[in-house]
């Protein structure tokens, strides 16, 4: 397919359709509204369904229903709307339902503003809903990856029967770039566990309630074993110029694009800088960070938040080397110049 110049938000929907998604349930909210707009246009063109629900709460429960029937389904929102969906996400995780949730993060807390931020990290990675569940979280840094990682999200959701989140900041959702779309998936896996309105349904039960404590404990143990498999097989990251680096900068989403420019500029001045970009925020590339800590002198984590991912970096490093932190909040994205100044002050101290 020919390249198209489109926003990251629209690339999400086209990627979902190429992945076989035919059900979108949502409620518009800036800066994610183009996802709902694109789904409303494109889903009917491929025989799919778009429904603007009466609320974010209703939309996640509609996804629960479509996924229970074995269909690839998705929803999307921005930070305040994601908060409202969290109870339903916990229900889906407890019922082992595969679905894709897209979060285009904006400034907070509260209504905040519509500028980009990364302050939903703890909510998604640490569990914004109740219970002992985990969500695979994919962090794109381009419009191309908004397509590619959405397609991957559906694959992983079906593989593990678990919700998967595409976690992007407002800049990545609103950014307009060329996107080259792959071929559509050839086939969607059979789902013998799903409700098919046939005679077999009497032996199928999809729910997240277990009134007997021992039964619920056994279910939780099963879930934890599944999450361990995700941690073993699904970690993804990108290294940039880390081979001989003295300092490694760590960031995801739009921050990683700024950091790549910073590394290039520092290298031209003779500073040995590199970058690590986590692509899966969960499972987190902790082991790789531990290995890097044996080679470099320090890390600098840059986030559009008060410091949420930096805690996971420090846990991985375990005081082997210093982990420094630099942030902007409220929708402010740091400039390359201010990060370069921070790096030089660390290296020259």
Average pLDDT of adjacent 10-residue blocks, the chain of 349 residues: 92 98 97 98 98 97 97 98 98 98 97 97 95 98 98 98 98 97 94 86 85 97 98 98 97 98 98 98 97 96 98 95 97 97 93
Give residue 1's pLDDT. Answer: 67
Give residue 201's pLDDT. Answer: 74
List the chain domain ranges.
4-233, 238-347
Give residue 169's pLDDT. Answer: 97
Give residue 202's pLDDT. Answer: 73
Give residue 111's pLDDT. Answer: 95
The rounded distance, in Å, linking the Cα atoms of 255 and 117 is 10
Q: For residue 60, give Cα distances in angstroms to 56, 245, 248.
A: 7, 44, 39
Tokens standing for 290?
A: 């531990």
Task: Say if CB 186 and CB 20 are below 8 A apart.
Answer: no
Strands 136-138 and 163-169 turn out to be parallel
Domains 4-233 and 238-347 share a fold: yes
Give residue 205's pLDDT. Answer: 86
CATH of domain 238-347: 3.40.50.920
Handedness of CA 115, 107, 135, 99 (dihedral sign): negative
| Main-chain dihedrals φ then ψ at residue 319, nearest 5 degrees | 65, 15
CATH of domain 4-233: 3.40.50.970
């Amino acid at each position: 397919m020919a390249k198209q110049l489109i926003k990251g938000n629209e690339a999400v929907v086209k990627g979902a359709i190429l992945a076989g998604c035919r059900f979108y349930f949502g409620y518009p909210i800036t800066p994610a509204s183009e996802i709902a707009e694109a789904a409303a246009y494109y889903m009917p063109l491929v025989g799919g369904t778009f429904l603007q629900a009466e609320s974010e709460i209703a939309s996640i429960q509609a996804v629960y229903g479509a996924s229970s029937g074995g269909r690839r389904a998705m929803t999307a929102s921005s930070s305040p709307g994601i908060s409202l969906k969290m109870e339903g996400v916990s229900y889906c995780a407890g019922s082992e339902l595969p679905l894709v949730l897209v979060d285009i993060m904006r400034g907070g807390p509260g209504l905040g503003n519509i500028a980009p931020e990364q302050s939903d990290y703890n909510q998604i990675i640490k569990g914004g809903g109740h219970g002992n569940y985990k969500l695979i979280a994919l962090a794109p840094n381009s419009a191309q990856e908004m397509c590619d990682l959405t397609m991957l999200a559906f694959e992983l959701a079906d593989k593990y029967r678990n919700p998967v989140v595409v976690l992007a900041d407002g800049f990545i959702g609103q950014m307009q770039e060329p996107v080259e779309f792959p071929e559509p998936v050839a086939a969607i896996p059979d789902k013998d566990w799903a409700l098919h309105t046939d005679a077999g349904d009497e032996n199928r039960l999809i729910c997240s309630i277990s009134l007997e404590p021992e039964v619920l404990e056994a279910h939780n143990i099963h879930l934890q074993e599944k999450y361990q498999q995700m941690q073993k097989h699904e970690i993804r990251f990108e290294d940039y110029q880390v081979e001989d680096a003295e300092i490694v900068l760590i960031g995801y989403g739009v921050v990683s694009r700024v950091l790549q420019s910073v590394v290039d500029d520092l290298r031209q001045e003779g500073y040995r800088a590199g970058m690590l970009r986590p692509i899966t925020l969960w499972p987190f590339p902790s082991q790789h960070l531990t290995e890097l800590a044996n080679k470099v002198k320090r890390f600098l984590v840059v986030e559009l938040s008060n410091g949420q991912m930096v805690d996971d970096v420090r846990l991985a490093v375990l005081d082997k080397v210093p982990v420094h932190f630099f942030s902007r909040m409220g929708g402010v994205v740091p400039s390359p110049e201010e990060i370069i100044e921070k790096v030089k002050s660390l290296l020259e101290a």
